[in-house]
Structure 1
Amino acid sequence: MCGIFAYLNYNVNRERRFILQLLFNGLRRLEYRGYDSAGIAIDHDQPLVFRQEGNIESLVKSVYQEVDALGLDLEESFSVHAGIAHTRWATHGEPAPRNSHPQTSGDGNEFLVVHNGVITNYQVLKETLIRHGFTFESETDTEVIPKLAKYVFDKANEGEGSHTVTFSEVVLEVMRHLEGAYALIFKSLHYPNELIACKRGSPLLLGVKVMMSKSDDIKDCTARYMPALQALHASVNVSLWLGFNQEFNEESNSGSTFHDSKFLSNNDHPKELFLSSDANAIVEHTKKVLMIEDGEVVHLKDGNVSILKFDNDKGRHGGSLSRPASVQRALSVLEMEVEQINKGNYEHYMQKEIHEQPESLKTTMRGRLIRGGSCKAKTVLLGGLKDHFKTIRRSRRIVFIGCGTSYNAALAARPILDELSGVPVTMEIASDLLDRQGPIYREDTAVFVSQSGETADTLQALEYALENGALCVGITNTVGSAIARHTHCGVHINAGAEIGVASTKAYTSQIVVMAMLALAIGGDTISSQTRREAIIDGLFDLPNKVREVLNLDQEMKDLAKLLIAEQSLLVFGRGYNYATALEGALKVKEVALMHSEGILAGEMKHGPLALVDENLPIIVIATRDSCFSKQQSVIQQLHARKGRVIVMCSKGEAVSVCPGGLGRVIEVPHVEDCLQPVINVVPLQLLAYHLTVLRGYNVDQPRNLAKSVTTQ
């Protein structure tokens, strides 16, 4: 998906060289999202636009060449300056400078726009603008936006008696004509040193960094927090001031602030303001952020932040250029650290994130698993769901909804949810649910699983479920994400920042969260007490078991060397590990660019057996669980057909799964059956990683893929 970054300094002197480097570094923080071109816009006599196909370093090189050719002074200082930047992932038009962003209104760069998303009615708008004399240079859907802004501006200012139209009025009018999903930042020659951001369905956040003297800081803090403390003392309900969904807040380590009006009101404090598609590009500058909501228009001018709420229906019936009332929002504090988004001593983010799983699992479980104490109880606490468990237990069914890896994680947890909850559990791929408008009832609990919390299909499915009256639960890794804000309740998995496009540690943390969810829904029934306590003990020991399986790194690298020239790979799983087969195959195909397919072993005789020969490598997951004997039978049938079998089994089971030493064996630690998918997926993650590196591909930015699919 595209990445957006913008920087505005107010009463803070910054040289042009500093501004350029800050914009470039902002784009580098967004590289992991996937892109094929990039661009920036900075101030001069008129806004200067630089766009380049390829990576960010190509853009950097071309910018400095053009700056030198133009004779611009890199040491020139600006007390106020607004710059915008963008990484593009091509959807409309090939990767090329003309299709890169910022897109412009035409000669003079009167209006510039960077965009993440898709404008679905761009063709109609384009034809209309062409009839009014506009010429288009790109194949993008985005170009209609700055040209529409110029059209609105020109129309509002023509004729006698026309009033001076504001930047926000222009943008609001443009928004009334746009259909689709978008996050936009506008910059204009007519409104120097101003930026406007707005969104509908795509992520965007504002970072605020205010410079104050110590005496000003003390006065300001007193002014800001005294009213809130007085209100709290008077037992006023302050829950409306929380920056995120309240139920999620109880679960997360992220601290919301009281309403911080000082940061969003008129003052002359020097400040720096940042806009970005995600927190990775902001956290090194400030931790104070505002998660921009759908329909909000955020206007940065004279060091102030104004927020307007766009009402599409009201705008259409209320006449053009009408100004909606302003709204107030609370700033929140990011808990992530810059170190989380650096690679450290690892070669790649995917490698780092695979090896971080013992710690990410610990963080996911911290404060949620209770073992011991005065009553020697073994229980699970999920504060974000505590007020909703009765509703969930009385549900007609629990519906898990997700896409890709998140769907696979839910599938891995489904058996234990079936077993402990006593409620029928069904699975839905978000896009398929929407395509067929599958039934969702008021008596259902719909659980939405998403690493980013911004996945387009999952968000649309959430809207659909809300419309149908279901209780909506979110499971996401991203505090303040759309799913976190719009579900009734939920759990943050707290796996930490995941930069690699291929999800690894978020997947295992999602499984653990859903296993804890099964324990919490199941309650303390006597019949399942022994089973529950065994699972809780297994969860406590799980990080150590994952650390143990990571010792297979070299063994998986050696296996990758044997498979490097192969064109295809099959992975057979069953029961708890059907999802492991799907996820392992998905990792291989998305990063190693090798065809791989996860297959339910019980379906082997219904078609897949025809593919078996002495050349096709087949991984069979046969760790010790209730399906073990059935998987032994599968292995025997594959050997009978001279299949090239690689078996993953529990330690000490090599002889029983491969009698006579036939085939290659990967031995992993044994844990409770419902937790075995966490262990078993790690060697497959390592295999995918090493296959990719050995094949010479970019493991962190696979071809054609983006980290968070927020557009369809």
Structure 2
Amino acid sequence: MCGIIGILGKEPAAPRLVDALRRLEYRGYDSAGVATLEGGVLTRRRAEGKLASLDRKLGAEPLYGTSGIGHTRWATHGAPVERNAHPHMAGAVAIVHNGIIENFRELREELEKEGETFESQTDSEVVAHLINRELQRGADPVAAVHASLARLTGAFALAILFSGRDDLMIGARRGSPLAVGYGKGEMFLGSDAMALAPFTDRVTFLDEGDWAVLSHDGVTIHDESGAEVKRPIVRTAVSALLIDKGNHRHFMAKEIHEQPEVISRTLAHYVRFDSNSIELPGGGLPFDKLSKLTITACGTAFYAALTAKYWFERYAKLPVDVDIASEFRYRESPLPKDGLAVFVSQSGETADTLASLRYCRDNGQLIASVVNVPESSIARESDAVLQTLAGPEIGVASTKAFTCQLSVLACMAIAAGRKRGVLSAADEAELVSALVQVPRLMADVLKREDEFDALAQTLAKAPLVLYLGRGSSYPLALEGALKLKEISYLHAEGFAAGELKHGPIALIDETVPVIALAPKDALFEKTVSNLQEVAARGGKLVVFSDAPEAQAAVKAQANFVLPMAHSLVNPILYAVPIQLLAYHTAVAMGTDVDQPRNLAKSVTVE
């Protein structure tokens, strides 16, 4: 979740770029830089650490060009040192990049064989070299960018500047947000509308796959195929909160769509991309010395914890107890001396979770927390803090915080498996590679939002909705039911699919939609058998699966074929459709999506 800003202006760009980057500081960063055109020549200044370091460098070595790009970086590939900071340059090209280029190794090897030399360890630099190679082959900048974008796999936002072209900037997005701002004889690019607020109140939010060619006079926008398209210009309000909604109707919708970006950012905190391995902060946790792991949380965070139980037990062979904090704190559970207690909370202030933490501390447990707010009470009272980098979540119903929690817990489970000797280096690399693909796969699902909107019109008329899943899809079935209940006020229940015959099957008739989460995993055939039981009783099946044979095996009202993914990451990926379904059902029913009745974002009292 790095910050990007681009300016085609009338006055020196560098001070304006730095000012805009300050508005993106809440995203977090470890280095920053700007590049401007000085007499047609690309010139950059970069610095490690806070923007004050970049400010000092610009004070000593000022830039005066009126066209420029700026960036705050959260390290993914490569350490947070100056040579890895953005902008990156190759020949006549300078770029800033937010996201993950999954196939950067293959592209880098290809370019190095052709004689290209790289100065950084980043995935981002490969984009500059790709575009520069197309220029050297005779392409103009627009054609060079279009050809290069087709070679990239991953989720990203880009701003690109060219030597000798102070009236040209190109931006592109796939999975990470990017907005175009309109001034008087000036144009702007920003990864966040907050960054554009000082310059303009007229903004176009690029759609998924769009790329935009900016000049001082305006912008031409192309879709992923290269066809020219029109996107609406939105006049943003002065209020920072209204600006922060972007072009979405509700904060919840915006936060669902932010997930490819914030998961990229969260993974960057824990993944060593050069070796496809996990590195936890502070040298990690003593997983090899533990006899038991206790995970405690409330609400949606509890379902993240329940999912993690499957991961820790499968990939680390570590026994796990998971409990709802409001139950655990009064249960007087016996705890081993060599135990680790993990507490999951978006706010880090949840009263029951905090009380459970103190009980565990009093009983000799090592304490770790998975929180979105590192200054929170839970974080301050923990021995180890594993932060989720979701950014502010305004909607009461948790979306991006949930998937970031899952991402961190998956990283922890892989690290535990490696530490305990259950996973080999090759196993770890395979699992990490699967995690890195999640932002791109999520972006693919989000492109199909209209399909979920259509289905929601049917759900809005139902008396009851059931969710089914097996294995690590079972906690997601519980989360799907919770999400629908809390924002649409429809009654919903989540069940382990294998439990149908033990009572819940009595609820099924032709009026009851049944949402089935059925990825092609080790339990797929058993899940299909359970779904056939539903179909035989007239239930209105809606199946989410990455298995094409699911359509033939089960007579369903709707089949959604989701991207193929490793079984580890399916719970993270399948969270998107259940969130979209709940959101659009609530909109269809006219409820207050962002502030549902009787609910608060952070429950700080019992």
- Give yes or no for TM over 0.5: yes
The equivalences for 1:131-210 within 5 A come to none
TM-score by length of 2: 0.59
The equivalences for 1:534-683 within 5 A come to 534-650=430-546, 652-658=548-554, 661-683=555-577
Q: Give, in angstroms, the shift of residue 422 of structure 1.
A: 2.6
Partners of 1:412 and 1:662 lie apart in 2 by 27
The equivalences for 1:428-467 within 5 A come to 428-467=323-362
The equivalences for 1:494-533 within 5 A come to 494-523=389-418, 525=421, 528-533=424-429
Q: Which residue number in structure 2 is paired with residue 380 of structure 1?
A: 278
The amino acid of 2:460's aligned partner reads: I
Q: Give, in angstroms, the shift of residue 648 of structure 1.
A: 1.0
Sort the Cα spacing of 1:502 and 1:530 in 2 relative to 1 into closer, same or farther, 3 A.
same
Q: Give, in angstroms, the shift of residue 339 of structure 1.
A: 7.4
The amino acid of 2:505's aligned partner reads: L
Structure with the bigger RCO (C-alpha within 8 Å, sep 6+) is 1
The equivalences for 1:409-420 within 5 A come to 409-420=304-315
CA contact (8 A) 2:543 2:556 kept: no
Sort the Cα spacing of 1:526 and 1:404 in 2 relative to 1 into closer, same or farther, 3 A.
closer
Q: Which residue number in structure 1 is paired with residue 293 of structure 2?
A: 398
The amino acid of 1:685's aligned partner reads: Q
Partners of 2:459 and 2:343 lie apart in 1 by 36
SS at match of 2:448: helix
Sort the Cα spacing of 1:354 and 1:471 in 2 relative to 1 into closer, same or farther, 3 A.
same
Q: Is structure 2 residue 249 aligned with structure 1 residue 354?
A: no
SS at match of 2:574: helix
Sort the Cα spacing of 1:412 and 1:341 in 2 relative to 1 into closer, same or farther, 3 A.
farther
1:688 equivalent among 582, 591, 602:
582
Sort the Cα spacing of 1:341 and 1:509 in 2 relative to 1 into closer, same or farther, 3 A.
farther
Q: Which residue number in structure 2 is paired with residue 710 of structure 1?
A: 604
Q: Give, in angstroms, the shift of residue 568 of structure 1.
A: 1.0
The equivalences for 1:330-341 within 5 A come to none
Partners of 1:527 and 1:551 lie apart in 2 by 35
Sort the Cα spacing of 1:485 and 1:657 in 2 relative to 1 into closer, same or farther, 3 A.
farther
Deviation readout 1:330-368 (Å, 9 max, x if unpaired):
xxxxxxx96798212211000000000000101101142
CA contact (8 A) 1:413 1:515 kept: yes
Q: Give, in angstroms, the shift of residue 638 of structure 1.
A: 1.2
Sort the Cα spacing of 1:527 and 1:490 in 2 relative to 1 into closer, same or farther, 3 A.
closer
Give the % identical residues. 40
Partners of 1:624 and 1:529 lie apart in 2 by 25
SS at match of 2:568: helix
Partners of 1:487 and 1:406 lie apart in 2 by 17
Partners of 1:605 and 1:553 lie apart in 2 by 33
Sort the Cα spacing of 1:417 and 1:620 in 2 relative to 1 into closer, same or farther, 3 A.
same
CA contact (8 A) 1:340 1:496 kept: no
Partners of 2:547 and 2:422 lie apart in 1 by 32
The amino acid of 1:623's aligned partner reads: P
Sort the Cα spacing of 1:653 and 1:462 in 2 relative to 1 into closer, same or farther, 3 A.
same
Q: Give, in angstroms, the shift of residue 672 of structure 1.
A: 1.0
SS at match of 2:344: strand
Partners of 1:669 and 1:499 lie apart in 2 by 29
The equivalences for 1:417-428 within 5 A come to 417-428=312-323
Partners of 2:466 and 2:551 lie apart in 1 by 22
The equivalences for 1:192-341 within 5 A come to none
1:701 equivalent among 584, 595, 604:
595
Partners of 1:569 and 1:430 lie apart in 2 by 27
Instruction: Give the gaps of 5 or more residues in structure 2.
Output: 1-79, 81-238
Q: Give, in angstroms, the shift of residue 514 of structure 1.
A: 0.5
Partners of 1:380 and 1:453 lie apart in 2 by 24
Q: Which residue number in structure 2 is paired with residue 371 of structure 1?
A: 273
Return the index of the structure with the highest Cα Rg: 1
The amino acid of 2:402's aligned partner reads: Y
Partners of 2:423 and 2:375 lie apart in 1 by 39
Partners of 2:532 and 2:422 lie apart in 1 by 40
Q: How many residues align?
A: 370
The amino acid of 1:583's aligned partner reads: E
SS at match of 1:491: strand
SS at match of 1:673: coil
Q: Give, in angstroms, the shift of residue 527 of structure 1.
A: 5.3
Sort the Cα spacing of 1:662 and 1:588 in 2 relative to 1 into closer, same or farther, 3 A.
closer
Deviation readout 1:41-91 (Å, 9 max, x if unpaired):
xxxxxxxxxxxxxxxxxxxxxxxxxxxxxxxxxxxxxxxxxxxxxxxxxxx
Q: Give, in angstroms, the shift of residue 438 of structure 1.
A: 1.7
Q: Give, in angstroms, the shift of residue 681 of structure 1.
A: 1.4
Deviation readout 1:367-402 (Å, 9 max, x if unpaired):
421233xxxx32111114x2x522x32112001100
The amino acid of 1:593's aligned partner reads: Y
The amino acid of 1:655's aligned partner reads: Q
Partners of 2:293 and 2:502 lie apart in 1 by 30
Q: Which residue number in structure 1 is paired with residue 375 of structure 2?
A: 480
Q: Give, in angstroms, the shift of residue 437 of structure 1.
A: 1.8
CA contact (8 A) 1:370 1:379 kept: yes
CA contact (8 A) 1:573 1:600 kept: yes
CA contact (8 A) 1:340 1:497 kept: no
Partners of 1:505 and 1:528 lie apart in 2 by 31
Q: Give, in angstroms, the shift of residue 529 of structure 1.
A: 3.6
CA contact (8 A) 2:468 2:497 kept: yes
Aligned residues: CA RMSD = 2.2
Q: Which residue number in structure 2 is paired with residue 190 of structure 1?
A: none
The amino acid of 2:501's aligned partner reads: K
Q: Which residue number in structure 1 is paired with residue 364 of structure 2?
A: 469
Partners of 2:424 and 2:553 lie apart in 1 by 31
- Provide runs of 4+ in structure 1 moved above 4 Å: 337-341
Sort the Cα spacing of 1:694 and 1:662 in 2 relative to 1 into closer, same or farther, 3 A.
closer
The amino acid of 1:652's aligned partner reads: P
CA contact (8 A) 1:560 1:687 kept: yes
Q: Give, in angstroms, the shift of residue 616 of structure 1.
A: 1.0
Q: Which residue number in structure 2 is paired with residue 274 of structure 1?
A: none
CA contact (8 A) 1:445 1:473 kept: yes
Q: Give, in angstroms, the shift of residue 639 of structure 1.
A: 1.4
CA contact (8 A) 2:528 2:550 kept: no
Deviation readout 1:211-245 (Å, 9 max, x if unpaired):
xxxxxxxxxxxxxxxxxxxxxxxxxxxxxxxxxxx
The amino acid of 2:273's aligned partner reads: R
TM-score by length of 1: 0.50
Partners of 1:526 and 1:483 lie apart in 2 by 30
